[in-house]
Amino acid sequence: MTVKIITPITQALSEGIITRQQLRELMQRSDAPPVKRLGLWALLLIISSSLIWLSRDNFLIGPAMFIQGVLLVHLFALQHECVHYTVFKTRYLNEWVGNLCGWIILLPNLHFRYEHCDHHTFTHLRGKDPELIPLPKSLVGYFWYLSALPYWYGRIASILRHSLGKLTDEDKRFIPVTERSIIYRDARLMLASYAALLAFCVVLGVWEVLLYFWLLPMALGEPVMRYIRLTEHVGRPHTADMKHNTRTTLVSAPWRFLGWNMNYHAAHHYASSVPYHALPRLHELLKEHVHVEPGGYWGAHKEILAQLTGRQPRCDEMPQQATQE
């Protein structure tokens, strides 16, 4: 028996939840909105960098680096949109910006694109979704994940492995044979560029710039991204039905800005070709047909914690459901 994956947007069209005309309008791309958004993000980064510089001799440098880190790790949200080619109308801009974001946050763009494609095909299905974040076994596991230490270990190990020309069995499931040499090349170029940058900064005697404006902020900010990533699917049923396996969280405008509207995650999974700026409109059409958490990120974590503490049944103890053909 094979699993037949439900195509959510086809289902929505057939059920009359959305019309083809509405979908076509929502899919319109433009270069103007992301350029404005990136300009504001860059301004915020200049401000946070200035705060780090001004507080370099006192205890306020910690909070300043944390703010910088939150801005930096949210480049994941921008890269995520770029791998869908939905940020810019101009295709090469999605490629260029996606690769730049990936370089900054240690996430090679091409590998992420192939991995993410399988995530959308097999969303939250155990043994098939390569991005599936399992429900932690305990509160200790929950806080261990939020520390981001296992995430960084996995990221660095993956780049090193690919630079040596090796893939995991999971990698081999979603990376085409014809693209594997490019995956290896990207990892080697990434490592070489990091080494060259470090050597350059050491020679000039400015290695502290890397530490205080990039590496330490990333380490401080990544737990925030782990906190957000848990809210997308963790604690939801392992089923192919997008109405149940994905969570939309209603959050405030600053979080929507930083996350490129990825809090409307169910809408994104319903129609991943709809650009980020149209997701709020798509959400309005779908909100009665998807799982919506009005309590924001903390509301989603309360559901997760209820499962960890036994106040709700654990999603991973329920049978995995899928439509069979």
Long-range (24+ apart) CB contacts under 8 A made by 314-321 are: 314/135, 315/135, 315/235, 315/236, 315/237, 315/238, 316/126, 316/134, 316/135, 316/238, 318/237, 318/238, 320/125, 320/126, 320/238, 320/239, 321/237, 321/238, 321/239, 321/240, 321/241
pLDDT on residue 87: 96
pLDDT on residue 6: 52
Give 8-51 pLDDT, tens digit per residue: 777 777 777 888 899 899 999 999 999 999 999 999 999 999 99
Helix axes 109-121, 180-204, angle to 10 degrees: 130
Could you give the C-alpha distances from 87 to 17, 82, 261, in angstroms and in order? 25, 6, 11
Average pLDDT over residues 80-97: 95
Residue 272: pLDDT over 60: yes
How many domains are contained in the chain?
1
pTM over 0.75: yes
Cα separation, 207 vs 157, in Å, equals: 24
Cα separation, 233 vs 4, in Å, equals: 20
Cα separation, 108 vs 115, in Å, equals: 11
Average predicted confidence (pLDDT) for the chain? 93
Domain that holds residue 48: 3-324
pLDDT on residue 322: 55
Cα separation, 24 vs 47, in Å, equals: 39
Residue 262: pLDDT over 80: yes
pLDDT on residue 155: 97
Q: Higher confidence at residue 324 or residue 220? A: 220
* Nearest by Cα to 80 from 44, 119, 46: 119
Average pLDDT over residues 149-173: 97
pLDDT on residue 18: 86
In contact, 199 and 210? CB cutoff 8 Å: no
pLDDT on residue 316: 82
Average pLDDT over residues 286-296: 94
Which amino acid is located at 146 in the chain?
Answer: L
Which amino acid is located at 271 in the chain?
Answer: A
pLDDT on residue 210: 95
Cα separation, 47 vs 243, in Å, equals: 40
> Taking the CB of residue 283, how many other CB atoms lie within 10 A of it?
21
Residue 240: pLDDT over 50: yes
